[in-house]
Chain A
Amino acid sequence: MTDTPDHISAKAFMAELERYRKGSVSRRHFLGVTGLGMATTVLGSAMPSLITRPAYAQGSIGDSVVLATWPNYHDPASFDAFTELTGAAVQVNVFGSNEEMLAKLQAGGSGWDVFVPTNYTITTYVDEGLIDPLDLSKIPNYDAASFDERFASPGTVNGMLYAASKDWGTTGMAVNTSQTNGRVLTSWKDFWEITQAEFSGRTTVHDYQLTTIGNALKSFGYSFNSVDPAELAKAEELLLAVKPHLFAITSDYQPPMRSGDAWLAMCWTGDAKQLNKDIPEIQYILGKEGGEIWSDFYAIPKGAPHLDAAYALINFLLDPAINYKEAMFHGQPVADARVNAMMSAEMMADPIIHPAAELLSALEFGAAATLTDPNRAELMARFKSA
């Protein structure tokens, strides 16, 4: 986890500028604290020739690599370190749903080198011929034996490894308990109920069919992965009734939760950990009916323009020391035993990161059928356009 706040006040900025001018802090500290460093990196990466390129031991891998991933999912310092090591600047594209990633790849010419698919989507990518198996000789940091089978196995399809485990987590709800008047939310039923009552206009749901429809289904006790038309119709009825009471339909809900505009969010583990760390009143709850447990992977799309850089980036991020730093930043549990060995006992016992076994046992992994089911896709689109 980082201690850097997501913004800097004008006063703090001037104070930092003064310190930098006086020479009491380094340029690196100044740029980091004020966010100017990030801004310059972004601008600089638009003109790669401006960045000096150190020699990389494994030979030149080019000056850029494109990563498609999820919001708040990587420590920017990891990318800086990668660029320093290899000379390749990391361009990050952020997505809100697996459907969006699949759509980009299906349309062709995504330009991505590495992307981060979720467990249940990988067979579809293989069937559609959109990804290539990983060449393990180029990822020496991947040690199959150290990964928890439960989370790493969806990366293997037809006996070949297509995707390397990044991390795993759950989908629950983040609630700002300073607004609940002591009421404790325990279920998805509560989630939808309070949204239509005291929390009207204060709730966000994912812009993502799997979880938004899935957790509506759960509140009726149906499977998270149901594609049964009658069950989906019930979920749609609920979602349409809730829609006028929502603050937003978005997968990037940290900003409104932090600003206090939103009080309740459908939320992934890492976001919950990041929010809870900075604002302890925001607590993370798993619906008692169940919900989603997931694992994410690194994969390389067919025709990746910078293949060498893609392997270099995956290998770099799977280095246990880097992966540990990443986990400390994004707050998701990691399936790699080598990384977990570095974690403090406190982190391993954190109820947000590692929920109790009986809570986990109620959860379901997403099913491949939900990704391609036309009814779920159209239900989500109708819900959004209603």
Chain B
Amino acid sequence: MSPKLINRLLLAPAGLWLLTMLVLPIVVVVVFSFGERAQAGGYVPAFTLEQYLNLPARWKAFQNTLTLAPVGTLIVLLIAYPLAYYLAIKANPKWRTLLLILVIVPFWTSILIRSYAWIFILGGRGIPAILEFFGLEGIRLINTPFAVLAGIVYGYLPLMVFPIYVSLERLDKRLLEASADLGSPPWRSFLQITLPLSLPGVATGCMLVFILLMGEFLIPAMLGGGKVFFVGNALVDLFLQSRNWPFGSAVAVALVLVMLVSVTIYMRAIKRWGNGRDDVSLM
């Protein structure tokens, strides 16, 4: 067997998987998006741009997603970075593994069940009742954008912590010593050494969280009470309630396009920023 053939055979399973699980479904979705809804729901073949022209009817869902996904990513980053920093640099190595496991432990339970717990924590008998005890009355948390953000931060935190942790852990501590020897205060060493060297982890974490958030539907459905609507929720509704497959497909195509554009801009920005420096290479 020639090496070329072996290569092809080795790639075949992955190629077949991508073809049947990614390429074909995308083709189906694109074809459906030009069709029409059947009388009782579903799809009838047609060639019409009607579905795309109707996209503004879901403007609010896109708006919600495009606000809460970046804001959520940013908050997750702000909380995850100090945690990852502590785990990688400050924590006693004896405890490090245990602490890392604690970060993963929530993943052992389904996000659905954990979201139910949040319904009670944020509901009238949870945090609002405690706040009332301290004299803050009439605070409402559940079924608000805040509740959805809290759920997002909680659910996605580990996805951000790990890439940052990995990049910080690889950091050569001698650089920090050298910097201190040369008279740099700790905050300067952090800004000029630690932070830039951990940026690849930050970039990966942000991308991971942002892309998944753009398709999120479970957390808004559970903690938003059907009132905080993401594009994901619009899709679930179109396919599983109103059975308008062509319009659902058009919304899905639009979401993929929005995602491609925003991720491309993001990658470009990161790359340009990375190229501006000669000490770090990003991605």
Write the residues of chain A forming the contact surface with B, with a CB cutoff of 8 angstroms.
97, 99-100, 102-104, 106-107, 124, 127-128, 201, 204, 207, 209, 243, 246-250, 255-256, 259-261, 371-372, 374, 377-378, 380-382, 384-386
Contact = CB atoms under 8 A, between A and B. Distances in A.
B124 interface: yes
Given A124-B40, A261-B124, A381-B234, A248 B225 contact: yes
B40 A261 contact: no
A381 B226 contact: no
Contacts of B242: 99, 209, 374, 377-378, 380-381
A165 to B, nearest CB: 24
A100 B226 contact: no
Interface stretch (B56-64, B75-83, B266-274): B56-64
A374 B226 contact: no
B40 A372 contact: yes
B123 A384 contact: no
B120 to A, nearest CB: 8
A246 B224 CA distance: 11
Interface in B107-149: 119, 123-125, 140, 142-143
A372 B41 contact: yes
Given A248-B227, A250-B225, A377-B244, A259 B123 contact: yes
Majority secondary structure of chain B interface residues (helix, strand, loop or mixed):
loop
Nearest to A382: B57
Contact of B229 (A247, A380, A384): A384
Interface of B: 37, 39-42, 57-58, 60-61, 119, 123-125, 140, 142-143, 225-227, 229, 233-234, 237-244
Given A246-B227, A261-B124, A100 B240 contact: yes
Given A201-B140, A250-B225, A385-B229, A377 B124 contact: no
Contacts of B58: 385
B140 A106 contact: no
Most buried by A among B57, B60, B61, B227: B227
Contact of A102 (B140, B143, B243, B244): B243
A121 B225 CA distance: 27
A250 B226 CA distance: 7
Nearest to B247: A378
A103 B142 contact: no
Contacts of B124: 259-261
B241 A380 contact: yes
Given A106-B40, A209-B242, 10 more contacts: A99-B242, A103-B239, A204-B225, A246-B225, A248-B227, A249-B225, A377-B41, A378-B57, A380-B241, A381-B237
Most buried by B among A204, A380, A384: A384
Contacts of B227: 243, 246, 248-249
Most buried by B among A209, A255, A374: A374
B243 A106 contact: yes
B123 A256 contact: yes
A374 B237 contact: no
Contacts of A247: 143, 225
Contact of B226 (A104, A106, A209, A249): A249
B164 to A, nearest CB: 35
28 contacts: A99-B242, A99-B243, A100-B241, A102-B41, A103-B239, A103-B241, A106-B40, A106-B41, A106-B42, A204-B225, A209-B241, A246-B225, A248-B225, A248-B227, A249-B226, A256-B123, A259-B125, A260-B124, A260-B125, A377-B241, A377-B243, A378-B244, A380-B242, A381-B234, A385-B57, A385-B58, A385-B233, A385-B237
A381 B235 CA distance: 10
Given A249-B225, A259-B124, A260-B124, A103 B143 contact: no
B238 A381 contact: yes
A384 B228 CA distance: 9
Contacts of B229: 384-386
B242 to A, nearest CB: 3
Most buried by A among B37, B124, B237: B237
Contacts of B239: 103, 107
Contacts of A378: 57, 242, 244
A249 to B, nearest CB: 3
Most buried by A among B39, B57, B225, B226: B226
What 9 pairs across the A-B complex have the smallest Cβ distances? A248-B225, A377-B242, A249-B226, A261-B124, A372-B40, A99-B241, A103-B240, A385-B61, A385-B229
Contacts of A380: 241-242
B29 to A, nearest CB: 14
A229 to B, nearest CB: 16
A113 to B, nearest CB: 20
Nearest to A98: B241
A64 B143 CA distance: 36
Nearest to A243: B227
A280 to B, nearest CB: 20
Most buried by A among B40, B42, B119, B123: B40
Nearest to A204: B225
Contacts of A261: 123-124, 142
Contacts of B41: 102-103, 106, 372, 377
B249 to A, nearest CB: 13
Contacts of A100: 240-241
Most buried by B among A107, A209, A377, A381: A381
A255 B40 CA distance: 33
A259 B225 CA distance: 15
Contacts of A248: 143, 225-227
Contacts of A243: 227
A127 B40 contact: yes
